[in-house]
């Protein structure tokens, strides 16, 4: 009886440990496969269009002004060294009663940059995806969404995380720009392609937001590859998950060792008084 109980206990313990190892293995496998897929996916910028949803809210001197609409970006290779970018935006200031349409065109270098005020800047629509946390990326931007603020320093790559856009999860580089007590911006670029998925910019006065801009990708001719829910969970919570699995494993191992060194007890002790 005792031997059978001990054998069942050992089997239960091994099953738990095996389950934890399998979970970690699947998560690392998903992460490894994703790293490989970065080299396999190569987005060609020949002629393509993207549509973004745009919202802007301003409040100066007790006067509130808001508008929203769409902004379409069309890219077309013009020659071996440059890309033509055409912007078309359609905005409303009166909740859709009337709409205002405008457009502009720009020329970008084939390496996704252009010259502005003597600096080599990224246009904000896409950056080169081969960046690392801590890199500094000079971004200027285009009207009317990504150039609302004066930037005296580059953005900094601060994180790699999973972002939900249109009910899909994408792996993104997070770039931030901070001017203490004045300005905060966060841009998210898809990991494989470097295209802009979402952007938030806020300007402050006396610690109160006075100008807010929100931009998010809605459609694209070539959508970047989404990631699985498993990789989404792993990307955003890997440190917490590893700590939890490690603590659980140590606890189970300690419990198992205590059971092994504890002296066996007779389940039917004799009554000394009889």
pTM of the model: 0.72
Q: Does residue 231 come out as left (phi exceeding 0), alpha (psi in the -120 to 50 range) or beta?
A: alpha
pLDDT of residue 31: 45
Would the pLDDT of 161 be above 60?
Answer: yes
Q: Which pLDDT score is estimated for 224? A: 85
How wide is the angle at C-alpha 219 spanned by C-alphas 218 and 223, nearest 5°? 115
pLDDT at residue number 29 = 45
Q: What is the pLDDT of residue 229?
A: 65
What are the pLDDT digits (tens) for 181-223?
789 999 999 998 899 999 999 999 988 899 999 999 999 988 8
Look at 187 and 242; give whichever has higher pLDDT.
187
User: 210 or 29: which carries more pLDDT confidence?
Assistant: 210
What is the structure's pLDDT at 206? 85
Q: Is a pLDDT exceeding 90 seen at residue 74? A: yes
Q: Which residues pair with 72 in a beta bridge?
A: 51, 88
pLDDT at position 260, please? 63
pLDDT reading at 100 higher than 90: yes
Other Cβ atoms closer than 10 A to 136: 11
**Crossing angle between the packed helical segments 2-40 and 229-261, to the nearest 10 degrees:** 150
Total residue length of the chain: 274
């Amino acid at each position: 009886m005792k031997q059978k109980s001990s054998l069942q206990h050992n089997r239960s313990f091994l099953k738990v440990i095996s389950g934890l190892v399998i979970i970690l293995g699947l998560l690392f496998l998903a992460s490894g496969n994703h790293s490989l897929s970065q080299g396999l996916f190569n987005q060609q910028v020949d002629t393509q269009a993207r549509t973004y949803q745009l919202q802007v809210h301003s409040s100066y001197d007790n006067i509130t002004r808001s508008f929203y609409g769409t902004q379409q970006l069309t890219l077309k290779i013009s020659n071996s060294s440059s890309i033509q970018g055409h912007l078309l935006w359609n905005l409303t200031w009166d909740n859709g009663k009337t709409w205002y349409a405008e457009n502009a065109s720009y020329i970008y270098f084939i390496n996704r940059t252009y010259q502005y005020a003597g600096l080599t800047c990224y246009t904000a629509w896409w950056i080169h995806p081969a960046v690392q946390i801590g890199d500094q990326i000079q971004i200027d931007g285009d009207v009317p969404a990504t150039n609302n603020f004066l930037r005296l320093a580059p953005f900094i790559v601060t994180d790699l995380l999973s972002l939900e856009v249109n009910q899909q999860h994408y792996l993104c580089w997070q770039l931030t720009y901070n001017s203490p007590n004045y300005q905060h911006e966060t841009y998210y670029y898809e990991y494989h392609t470097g295209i802009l998925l979402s952007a938030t910019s806020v300007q402050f006065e006396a610690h109160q937001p006075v100008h807010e801009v929100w931009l998010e990708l809605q459609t694209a001719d070539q959508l970047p590859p989404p990631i699985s829910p498993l990789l989404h969970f792993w990307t955003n919570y890997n440190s917490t998950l590893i700590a939890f699995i490690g603590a659980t494993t140590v606890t189970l191992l300690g419990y198992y060792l205590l059971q092994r060194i504890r002296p066996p007890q007779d389940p039917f002790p004799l009554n000394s008084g009889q």
